[in-house]
Amino acid sequence: MSHQELLTIGNSFADNALTYLRQIGEPLQFTWTIGRANIGGCPLEKHWNLHRYSDATPDFVTYNDGAAIGDDPRQGTLRQMLVAREWDVVTLQQASVDSWCEETYRPWLDKLIGLVRELAPQAEILLHHTWAYRSDAPLLAEWQLTTRQMHERICVVYADLVAELGLRTLPTGPALQQAREQGPDGKYELDAGYNFDQPEPPALPRQVNNHVIGYWWEAVDTLRGIPELRLDPKHLNVRGCYVASATWFETLTGRDVCTSSFCPLGLDEEDQRFLAGVAHDAVVATR
């Protein structure tokens, strides 16, 4: 049995990547203690500023999920999190909205790396290379980028950081992009036959080779309980979370993820083998 102590300093994209990590490891006798210093949508700058504020304000609690030991949430500041355990690995990442803009990483990434090295010098620091949004994300239209272009911009950023800092990456973004472009059902395309102007529940648009939550009908979280068609083109669904967790597993352990028998509910075995394969390829490409 092999065990790792893992702390993520990130946001919901780190939570996505952790979804199936333990389950993938179980058949191969790998276990984790996982701490989560994650805040939804949190950029590097905010993590650093919250650390500074919490140092000056002793009663301020930064992370409500805290250091999860056996998934038992605890509260804590970043300083408290970093000294709570002898972490083997600490991960850092940028918020997705800033992930393709290299100027948003500095000096905050350097400051956080310095803090980790001060308080958890035994830990390896890994950079989580995150993914691009799905092609129908409104922000892509606003930025005048395609999914491929956003992905390429993120890749340039992480290549520069790796070259300068000498850190390894968790290549989730490259794995997701490979899955998008090489999926057996072809690339995702907006359903041209769906009436987006006047959608009727519960009908949903066709979403082939999809790795994000995408479109769904929401009724509870609406003003009057009238169903609304909503879109999440960023956060991962079962397929996407499996790719991300598989990528993390192989990077963290050095073991071929294709040798794990775990298959999440909602995936068939053929799809699981394909997705494990793209995760494996992405990790091998970083070595």
Reported confidence tier of residue 74, pLDDT bands at 50, 70, 90: low
Reported confidence tier of residue 27, pLDDT bands at 50, 70, 90: very high
| pLDDT over threshold 80, residue 72 | no
Q: What is the pLDDT of residue 186?
A: 83
Q: What is the pLDDT of residue 53?
A: 97
Q: What is the pLDDT of residue 65?
A: 60
SS (H, E, C) the chain: CEEEEEEEEECHHHHHHHCCHHHHHHHHCEEEEEEEEECCCCCHHHHHHHHHHHHHCCCCCCECCCCCECCECCCECHHHHHHHCCCCEEEECCCHHHCCCHHHCCCHHHHHHHHHHHHCCCCEEEEECCCCCCCCCHHHHHHCCCHHHHHHHHHHHHHHHHHHHCCEEECHHHHHHHHHHHCCCCCCCCCCCCCCCCCCCCCCCCCCCCCEEEEEEECCCCCCCCCEEEEEEEEECHHHHHHHHHHHHHHHHCCCHHHCCCCCCCCCHHHHHHHHHHHHHHHHHHC
Report the chain's mean pLDDT, rounded to a whole number. Answer: 95
Reported confidence tier of residue 243, pLDDT bands at 50, 70, 90: very high
Q: Model confidence over 107-140: pLDDT tens digits? A: 999 999 999 999 999 999 999 999 999 999 999 9
| pLDDT over threshold 60, residue 163 | yes
User: What is the average pLDDT across 51-60?
Assistant: 92
Q: What is the pLDDT of residue 261?
A: 97
Which structural domains are found in the chain, ordered by start? 2-187+236-286 (3.40.50.1110)
User: What is the average pLDDT across 213-233?
Assistant: 96
Q: What is the pLDDT of residue 61?
A: 85
Full-model pTM? 0.95
